[in-house]
Every structure is written in structure tokens, then in C-alpha cells.
């Protein structure tokens, strides 16, 4: 694959730890963009703060590295000003559901045409391994030395409840799914939320004694199952992956354009 033209090679090797799943997601995203044949100057990536947000520095699209949790708010403004842009918003679990929780649900509610990618590693990696709203109960973190008592959000259910019109989940083990789901999410008109489980071997894996990156990926392989599969039916404790929702609802920028036309008296 000719991904060299899609990245800023001068910043490589990237800063992520050995075995970090964020690189795999970047890899899948580049494959998806390459296969869709999208023009780089029509793409923008808007990110917040955290390990995941560093993705924006590596892609040779238009990029904005914004405030913690505010990536979706900035992306909403950008999309309204330049509706023709295809916008990716990579966020970490804390970025999307803690600091940016409010922006997340409202972007879903508005159904604005963005592709939000939630890289869920269940921990704040960059700041040293504090637990996040997606860590879940019984998890060891630097701020939970006696294990976390906080239940986790389910990003898929949260996005569905908030009104996103494309909601999917996959993992860093299922590399072909990452590409195919991102492709569908980009082509979808409206708010797309893609949750991707990514391994953080440095903090989450080591703290919780799961092992290295390979063992964490094996866990994703063994503990998830495709939606509607026999495997999932047989063992409901497995985590479902796949596309949970893909439907059409009026898109925010189009509705806004109609308001502008109405205000200018140009309404048909």
C-alpha cells in the first residue's frame, strides 16, 4: 500500500510505545483512505489531547490539534464552515467520554456528518495510567491501587442513546474490520461513532497483569464475537463487535443550509 503519501514521514518513528494499538488504528485508517481514493486536501483530522490525539500529527491531511475533550466541538465548527470536508475525529476514552462527554452526546444528537473514532484503551496512558470512565470495575490503575469501583460506560449504547446514526465497534486485533468499518463510517452521511478497543501494554496491560501487546490482542480475539454470530449467542458474556446501527436521519449541516436559505428568502 502506498501510505507514504498519506503520512508526514519526518515525524516517524512515532512516539507511541512498542505494541501500542493506536498505531494499528492509524494503519487501518490509512488503508481505508487509500482504498476509498480520497483526495488528501478534502480531508481534515481534528483531535483533542492524549496519546490517541497524536494521530493527527502523523497524517498528511489538514489537521487540527485542539483542546482536551473539545475535538468534536472544534470539528462541529469546522464542518459547519466547510461542509465539503470529510472530517475524522480520533479521541481517546477519556477525551471522548470524560472531558468531552458533553460534546460527544451532543454531536451524536445533532447528527452532524463527522467520523468519530473512539480509541478505547481503558486508561489515561499519556499522563501515567489513571483510570478512565471506560476502565470498568475491578481494574487496577495508578489512581485505583485497590481496584476501581466505577462501572464503565458502554460507548456503543451511549452513542445509540444519544442519536448517532452509524455506530460500530471493533478491536485492534481485527485489522481488516478496522479498515472496512472506517470506510463505511466515512461514506455514511451523519454522525458516525466507531469504538475500537486498543491495547495499552505499558499501563493497562502491565498494571492489570494481562501481559504484553500480543496477549492483550489475543484477549480481544477470544473475548469478542461478531454481532449475530453463533459464538455470541452461545456465550453472552462475550463483547459484540460489528455495525450496531446504520440509518439515515436529516444531517445537521444540510438542515443548517436550509435555515440560511430561509433567512435569505431563497427558500424554494
Partner 1 sequence: MEAVSINERWCKGCGICVAFCPKEALVLEHEKARHIPDRCIACGMCELYCPDLAITVDTSKKPARAKKEVA
- Residues forming contacts to partner 1 in the complex (CB under 8 A) are 1, 3, 7, 12-14, 16-24, 26-28, 30-31, 172, 175-176, 179, 201, 212-214, 217
Greatest pairwise CA separation for the chain in angstroms: 64
CA angle 45, 22, 160 (to 5 degrees): 70
What's the closest the beta carbon of residue 22 comes to partner 1, in angstroms? Answer: 7
What's the closest the beta carbon of residue 103 comes to partner 1, in angstroms? Answer: 28
* Pick 203 or 244: Cβ nearer partner 1: 203
Residues paired with 91 in a beta bridge: 118
Distance spanning both ends of the chain, measured CA to CA: 47
What's the closest the beta carbon of residue 198 comes to partner 1, in angstroms? Answer: 9
* Pick 55 or 139: Cβ nearer partner 1: 55
Cβ-count burial of 233 within 10 angstroms (0-12 exposed, 13-18 middle, 19+ buried)? exposed
* Pick 20 or 107: Cβ nearer partner 1: 20
What's the closest the beta carbon of residue 238 comes to partner 1, in angstroms? Answer: 20
For 137, the 3-state DSSP assignment is coil
d(CA 134, CA 95): 11
Q: What region does 69 belong to: left with phi over 0, alpha with psi -120 to 50, or beta? A: left
d(CA 212, CA 173): 13
* Pick 22 or 103: Cβ nearer partner 1: 22
* Pick 105 or 172: Cβ nearer partner 1: 172
What's the closest the beta carbon of residue 175 comes to partner 1, in angstroms? Answer: 4
Yes or no: say if 21 and 92 are a contact pair by the CB < 8 Å rule.
no
d(CA 200, CA 224): 18
* Pick 156 or 217: Cβ nearer partner 1: 217
- Find the DSSP H helices in the chain: 21-36, 55-58, 71-81, 93-94, 101-110, 155-162, 175-187, 206-207, 213-223, 230-234, 252-263
What's the closest the beta carbon of residue 182 comes to partner 1, in angstroms? Answer: 13
What's the closest the beta carbon of residue 24 comes to partner 1, in angstroms? Answer: 5
* Pick 176 or 249: Cβ nearer partner 1: 176
Reading the block at residue 22, the C-alpha cell is: 493506536
Amino acid at each position: 500500500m502506498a501510505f507514504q503519501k498519506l503520512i508526514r514521514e519526518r515525524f516517524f518513528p512515532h512516539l507511541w510505545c512498542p505494541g501500542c494499538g493506536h498505531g494499528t488504528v492509524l494503519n487501518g485508517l490509512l488503508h481505508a483512505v487509500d482504498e476509498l481514493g480520497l483526495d488528501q486536501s478534502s480531508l481534515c483530522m481534528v483531535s483533542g489531547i492524549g496519546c490517541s490525539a497524536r494521530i493527527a500529527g502523523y497524517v498528511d491531511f489538514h489537521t487540527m490539534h485542539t483542546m482536551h475533550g473539545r475535538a468534536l466541538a472544534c470539528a462541529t465548527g469546522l464542518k459547519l464552515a466547510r461542509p465539503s470536508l470529510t472530517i475524522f475525529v480520533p479521541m481517546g476514552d477519556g477525551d471522548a467520554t470524560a472531558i468531552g462527554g458533553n460534546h460527544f452526546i451532543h454531536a451524536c444528537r445533532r447528527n452532524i456528518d463527522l467520523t468519530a473514532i473512539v480509541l478505547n484503551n481503558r486508561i489515561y496512558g499519556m499522563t501515567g495510567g489513571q483510570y478512565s470512565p471506560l476502565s470498568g470495575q475491578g481494574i487496577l490503575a495508578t489512581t485505583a491501587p485497590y481496584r476501581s469501583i466505577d462501572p464503565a460506560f458502554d460507548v456503543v449504547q451511549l452513542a445509540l442513546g444519544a442519536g448517532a446514526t452509524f455506530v460500530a465497534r471493533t478491536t485492534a486485533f481485527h485489522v481488516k474490520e478496522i479498515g472496512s468499518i472506517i470506510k463505511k463510517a466515512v461514506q455514511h452521511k451523519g454522525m458516525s461513532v466507531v469504538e475500537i478497543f486498543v491495547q495499552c501494554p505499558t499501563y493497562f496491560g502491565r498494571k492489570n497483569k494481562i501481559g504484553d501487546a500480543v496477549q492483550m490482542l489475543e484477549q480481544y480475539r477470544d473475548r469478542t464475537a461478531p454481532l449475530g454470530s453463533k459464538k455470541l449467542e452461545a456465550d453472552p458474556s462475550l463483547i459484540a463487535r460489528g455495525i450496531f446501527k446504520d440509518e439515515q436521519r436529516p444531517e445537521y449541516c444540510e438542515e443548517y443550509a436550509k435555515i440560511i436559505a430561509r433567512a435569505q428568502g431563497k427558500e424554494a
